[in-house]
Structure 1
Amino acid sequence: MAKINANEIKPGFILDHDGGLWAAVKVDHVKPGKGGAFAQVELKNLRDGRKLNERFRSEDKVDSVRLERKDQQFLYETDGILTFMDTETFEQTELSSDLLGDRRPFLQDGMTIMIEYFGDEALNVALPPKVTCRIAETEPVMKGQTAAKSFKPAILDNGVRVMVPPFVGPDELIVVNTETMEYSERA
């Protein structure tokens, strides 16, 4: 672990603070007219998801942690446990599906994802930013509806409900943004 000054903290940094691993979500550097400068940091616990707002003076030292990132291939799921394989060493890793949360339906067989490790502990799973899905059902186009700023509901083959433009129909492939869970483009 490297010690850094609190004024060097940026969003995305991983800190060892208060006996846990925390990700800096939002950072505001403040220099008031009276008193010393400080960093107001919103932290998220990587193990249990708790949030914490912490104020660090600019001269404070914090422990910065580097996570090891590995590309892994998704193999299968059994009873809420996801099994991944390291594409270089062929070692298998089992993780809880809770790590993905509401993005779980976008995980597809054979998909390569990135897992962040602290030592041997997997802390975070990152899906590709965009995934191709098939539309299972959607409403027909209504006459007079234009493509400008109008959307209709659609259900994807993985059960996720998204809003799509009126020109998209059933059985079409679309690209969905996995972070915002919104329609991006036609595939």
Structure 2
Amino acid sequence: MARIATLKPSTFHCFRLSSSSSSPSPSSLSFASTPLVLPIRVLTGTRRRPKFPKILAFTSNDIKVGTNIEVDGAPWKVIEFLHVKPGKGAAFVRTTLRNYVTGNTVEKTFRAGAKVEQADIFKETKQYTYKDGGQFVFMDLTNYEEFRLDESYVGDKVKWMKEGMDCNLLFWNGKGPLWSSIEMTLCGRNGFNSWHQVVSAWCHCGLEFTGVGRGVEGCGIVDMHTIIGEVDNEVIGFEVPMNVKLTVVDVDPSAKGDSAQGGSKPATLETGAVVNVPLFIERDEVITVDTETGQYLSRG
């Protein structure tokens, strides 16, 4: 069951829905300067955690491959770097960064010694349990807490995933794209045609109403800035194990060659991935595959 955090009323602004009847009909949005007493729960799908022990005065000189940094409010991983000391001019650090959320890579240059913000990214092992529509569901086996990750975060890693597999979920102690999306939707004041749209948009982002009275009069939506302040850590991605054991479900029977000379043939695995395997590998055998390169490693 998902962990539920209850928000207490405070001095934040709230949305208020008004309607001429108690039936789901087109409504209008107005704003109240005092909090509504209606309790609202947040299905966080996130974890609270002490702040990351950051290195004091972390600068571009400390950048290495694998370093996590924040640039323009987004989390990035350094995949390449080079310290450059030109004959003339100031020294600088040239980097290639990969965005944890979008997967995009960019090149960015930092002045040598410039202050750089570290991204508080940490990993926790969760078990992949099943797929629910466009979401992959993971579970913490210590407390049975569920975490849902949209398939856009998974990408082509799905070809290595099978139910019951332990994966690493990546958490970022900051305001991520999910909250930004909700904030744009609910705080943008674009208007909604019905209270159904408001509740749908709210629940789609992992939030739900509780204690709503008869009809829609008085239903409240907490300002997103308050939610952002309450929820620290957001799931931004995951990692499959570097090596996985998968069963071969199909091989090309017509493939021929000299196995002593290292011949290979394509094999389809239980997850749908296709890898090249030695000629001696047959159907129903279990093999170990490197998920980074997609290469066959060994039997069993």
Tell me, yes or no, whether TM beats 0.5: yes
Residue number in structure 1 paired with 2:96: 42
What is the DSSP-based 3-state SS (H/G/I as helix, E as strand, rest coil) of the residue aligned with 1:54?
Answer: strand
RMSD across aligned C-alpha pairs, in angstroms? 1.8
Q: Structure 2: which amino acid aligns with 1:148?
A: Q
Structure with higher RCO (Cα < 8 A, 6+ apart): 2
Residue number in structure 2 paired with 1:83: 137
1:62 to 116, 119, 122: 116
2:152 to 98, 104, 107: 98
Residue 143 of structure 1 deviates from its aligned partner by: 6.0
Residue number in structure 2 paired with 1:131: 244
Residues 19, 66 of structure 1: CA spacing in aligned structure 2 closer, same or farther, 3 A cutoff?
Answer: closer
Structure 1 stretches of 4+ moved >6 Å: none
CA shift digits 1:12-58 (9 cap, x unpaired): 11111123221111111112222222110111122222222111111
What is the DSSP-based 3-state SS (H/G/I as helix, E as strand, rest coil) of the residue aligned with 1:11?
Answer: coil
Residue 10 of structure 1 deviates from its aligned partner by: 0.8
**In 1: Cα distance, 2:82 partner to 2:116 partner:** 16
Tell whether the 8 Å contact from 1:147 to 1:167 is kept in structure 2 after alignment. no
Residue 93 of structure 1 deviates from its aligned partner by: 0.8
Structure number with bigger Rg: 2
Residue 141 of structure 1 deviates from its aligned partner by: 7.1
**In 1: Cα distance, 2:257 partner to 2:67 partner:** 50
Residue 14 (structure 1) aligned with residue 68 (structure 2): yes
Q: Structure 1: which amino acid aligns with 2:92?
A: F
Count residues with an aligned counterpart: 187
In structure 2, runs of 5+ residues without a counterpart are 1-53, 174-232
Residue 147 of structure 1 deviates from its aligned partner by: 3.1
Residues 144, 71 of structure 1: CA spacing in aligned structure 2 closer, same or farther, 3 A cutoff?
Answer: closer
CA shift digits 1:83-138 (9 cap, x unpaired): 11123332111111222211203212111111110132111201111111111121
**In 2: Cα distance, 1:155 partner to 1:28 partner:** 40
| TM-score (norm. length: structure 2) | 0.58
In structure 1, runs of 5+ residues without a counterpart are none
**Which range moved further: 139-148 or 121-130?**
139-148
Residue 142 of structure 1 deviates from its aligned partner by: 5.8
